[in-house]
């Protein structure tokens, strides 16, 4: 596989490097991206650390970095305020300076938390993302959103802080559980739905993990290139970036309904995309064959295409409550595969259509 590089012109500008075995070259690449760093603070989790931690640390130590490693318990609950404080105290106890760096090695949980810690300790140090899940490679490591979860909801505190470098080793995906790989594929399919019909067809022709892995570098590159264009246009999420939420509004309802344990994010997004497509058909704005096309690509991957939930969860997810009744909501719909259509609708109307769809 040839190495692929993308340059993102957001923040100070940074490269995304996709390359087989890049983990073993991380030291030199990070030295070039953070030339004044003496100390590197590697943040990872209990699943990823034994798999990839030693290779990364060896590569950093060859470049004479002073390396400190923090291993978080794997899982969403690690994205907490208490862990954020723990990371700040750990870095400052080890003498972090403004020219040092944080290296996030893991999935979106590690990336979001370590990113938040990097962007706030000493008012900000450099961040390198080394995403190891499909979801984090195609989505969370690129674009600069960092976050923790609060008791009041997910991702409710965070920053926009672009990394200085993103390194993706597609080989790390080989150790992902099937369920996590499929969940990442929901986000991959999303890019085809909202932006690129040819990419959607490319994915459709590869209905298994094995077939997808044979072309994984191209898949990662295509997704990151789409996200690059969106983020460069709307870094701070005030307009175009909302199209990345296709399938997510209803997906949030399904995650909520499942208590955030029954369905992982990508699974909820998969069902959310199909339901959003059906809603678009019901509104007369989406080609009638679109829901079936999306289902046909998600089902072979083992992803759910419909999830049952209480109507109250749908109401919460689309922001329909007594106080906001009558307000508008912007739904991310499709005209057809590859053509996204953000549509402002009265919330009450959305509620009616969803109720009617459930009645069918
Ligand atoms: P995750 O970080 O929890 O990783 C999923 C599981 O895979 C974990 O158990 C992890 O330990 C394990 N894992 C990671 N890499 C592995 C590997 N190579 N081999 C084996 N196991 C591995 O979850 P995720 O799906 O990567 O990310 C979800 C998080 O990302 C959520 O918190 C979500 O809010 C956030 N997110 C952020 C953005 C953003 O723009 N910042 C975008 C999308 C999602
Ligand atoms: N994951 C959505 C975004 O980065 O805006």
- Where does the pLDDT of residue 201 fall: very low under 50, low under 70, confident under 90, or very high at 90 and above? very high
The mean of the pLDDT values for the chain is 95
Pocket of ligand 1 contains residue 157 by CB under 6 Å: no
Question: Which residues make Cβ contacts (< 8 Å) with residue 51, sequence separation at least 6?
Answer: 132, 172, 175
Q: According to the model, what pLDDT value does residue 325 have?
A: 55
Atom from ligand 1 closest to the CA of residue 115: 41
Mutate which of 72, 104, 133, 184 for ligand 1? The one with the most ligand atoms within 8 Å of its CB, which is: 133
Say whether pLDDT at 326 is over 70.
Answer: no
Tens digits of residue pLDDT in 150-190: 998 889 999 999 999 999 999 999 999 999 999 999 999 99
Spacing, Cα 135 to ligand 1 middle (Å): 6
Pocket of ligand 1 contains residue 45 by CB under 6 Å: yes
Atom from ligand 2 closest to the CA of residue 143: 4
Q: According to the model, what pLDDT value does residue 23 have?
A: 97
Spacing, Cα 51 to ligand 1 middle (Å): 15
Going from the C-alpha of 289 to that of each of 8, 294, 335, 356, the distances in angstroms are: 35, 9, 11, 19
Pocket of ligand 1 contains residue 56 by CB under 6 Å: no
What mean pLDDT do residues 129-135 have?
98
Instruction: Retrieve residue 310's tokens.
Output: 């209480």
Tens digits of residue pLDDT in 204-243: 999 999 999 999 999 999 999 999 999 999 999 999 999 9
- Please give, one letter per residue, the 3-state secondary structure of the chain: CCCEEEEECCCCCEEEEECCCHHHHHHHHHHHHCCCCCEEEEEEECCHHHHHHHHHHHHHHHCCCEEEEEEECCCHHHCCHHHHHHHHHHHHHCCCCCCCEEEEEECHHHHHHHHHHHHHHHHCCEEEEEECCHHHHHHHCCCCEEEEEECCEEEEEEEECCCCEEEECHHHHHHCCHHHHHHHHHHHHHHHHHHCHHHHHHHHCCCCHHHHHHCHHHHHHHHHHHHHHHHHHCCCCCCHHHHHHCCHHHHHHHHHHCCCCCCCHHHHHHHHHHHHHHHHHHCCCCCCCHHHHHHHHHHHHCCCCCCCCCHHHHHHHCCCCCCCCCCEEEEEEEEECCEEEEEEEEHHHHHHHHHHHHHC
What mean pLDDT do residues 337-355 have?
92
Spacing, Cα 107 to ligand 1 middle (Å): 3
Q: According to the model, what pLDDT value does residue 284 have?
A: 95
Tens digits of residue pLDDT in 247-264: 999 999 899 888 888 999
Spacing, Cα 281 to ligand 1 middle (Å): 32
Pocket of ligand 2 contains residue 241 by CB under 6 Å: yes
Pocket of ligand 1 contains residue 133 by CB under 6 Å: yes
Spacing, Cα 352 to ligand 1 middle (Å): 35
Domains within the chain, CATH numbers bracketed:
4-175 (3.40.50.1970), 178-359 (1.20.1090.10)
Q: According to the model, what pLDDT value does residue 317 have?
A: 81
């Amino acid at each position: 596989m040839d190495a692929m590089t993308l340059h993102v012109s957001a923040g100070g500008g940074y490269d995304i490097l996709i390359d087989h075995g890049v983990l073993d070259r991380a030291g030199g690449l990070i030295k070039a991206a953070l030339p004044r760093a003496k100390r590197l603070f590697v943040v990872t989790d209990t699943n990823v650390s034994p798999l990839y931690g030693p290779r990364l640390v060896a590569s950093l130590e060859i470049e004479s970095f002073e390396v400190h490693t923090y291993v978080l318990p794997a899982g969403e609950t690690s994205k907490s305020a208490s862990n954020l404080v723990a990371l700040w105290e750990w870095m400052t106890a080890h003498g972090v300076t403004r020219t040092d760096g944080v290296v996030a090695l893991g999935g979106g949980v590690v990336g979001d938390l370590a990113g938040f810690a990097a962007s706030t300790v000493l008012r900000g140090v450099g961040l390198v993302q080394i995403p190891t899940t499909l979801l984090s490679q195609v989505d969370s490591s690129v674009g600069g959103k960092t976050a923790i979860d609060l008791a009041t909801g997910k991702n409710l505190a965070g920053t926009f802080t672009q990394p200085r470098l993103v390194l993706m080793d597609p080989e790390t995906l080989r150790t992902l559980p099937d369920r996590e790989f499929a969940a990442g594929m929901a986000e991959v399919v999303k890019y085809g739905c909202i932006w690129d019909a040819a990419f959607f067809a490319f994915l459709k022709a590869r209905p298994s993990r094995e077939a997808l892995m044979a072309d994984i570098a191209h898949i990662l590159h295509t997704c990151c290139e789409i996200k690059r264009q969106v983020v460069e246009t709307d870094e701070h999420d005030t307009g175009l970036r909302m199209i990345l939420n296709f399938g997510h509004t209803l997906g949030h309802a399904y995650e909520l309904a499942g208590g955030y344990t029954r369905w992982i994010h990508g699974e909820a997004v998969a069902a959310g995309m199909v339901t959003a497509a059906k809603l678009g058909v019901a509104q007369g704005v989406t080609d009638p064959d679109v829901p079936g096309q999306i289902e046909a690509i998600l089902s072979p991957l083992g992803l759910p295409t419909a999830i049952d939930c209480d109507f109250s969860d749908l109401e919460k997810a689309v922001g329909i409550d007594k106080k906001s009744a009558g307000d508008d909501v912007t739904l991310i719909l499709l005209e057809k595969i590859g053509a996204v259509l953000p549509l402002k609708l009265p919330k009450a109307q959305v509620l009616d259509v969803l109720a009617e769809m459930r009645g069918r």
